[in-house]
Amino acid sequence: MLKGIDPVLSPELLKIMAEMGHDDTLVLADANFTAMSLGVGKPIVRLPGVGMLRAVQAVTSLLPLAADVAHPVACMQVGGTEAPYLSGLQREVVAHLQTHLPAGTGVEAVERYAFYDQVSIAYAIVVTGELQPWGNFILHKGVISEALVA
């Protein structure tokens, strides 16, 4: 254990987050996500029993979101719906993210197969214990500046 670090963040996940560079992406996936087939060659970390909101809270406690893209966060569009529809879980996560999103940026709902395409270029995948279908997010890492370190 380390002081000031959310205990949900395992040593393996902390290492991955520290290794990521600016604009690398981290997938936060629900328990049903096809991480093993989509994540071949990528680090895959499991957070069993941890829901999506809790995982996002832990990750965003240390990971800055990118300010140089219009949508530093993507969520998987709920099947059978049209954007901008968000599930209850997605609305909860987005509400939390509002305090972490850089000014002028937002969250984008991405169609399932387009979301999978984005996963193929992600740095790593975190599989949570979230059981809500379509509960998947992609976070773009931002820059750590002197202002954030102080």
140 is a catalytic site residue: no
What is the number of other CB atoms lying within 10 angstroms of the CB of residue 21?
A: 8
Phi, psi of 141 (to 5 degrees): -75, 135
d(CA 11, CA 72): 24
Torsion of CA 41, 114, 141, 78, to 10 degrees: -110
Burial class (CB in 10 A: 0-12, 13-18, 19+), 92: middle
Pairing of strands 124-128, 44-47: parallel
Structure tokens at 40: 């071949």
Catalytic residue (one of 22, 71, 96, 100): 22
Question: Torsions phi, psi of 45, nearest 5?
Answer: -115, 140
Catalytic residues: 22
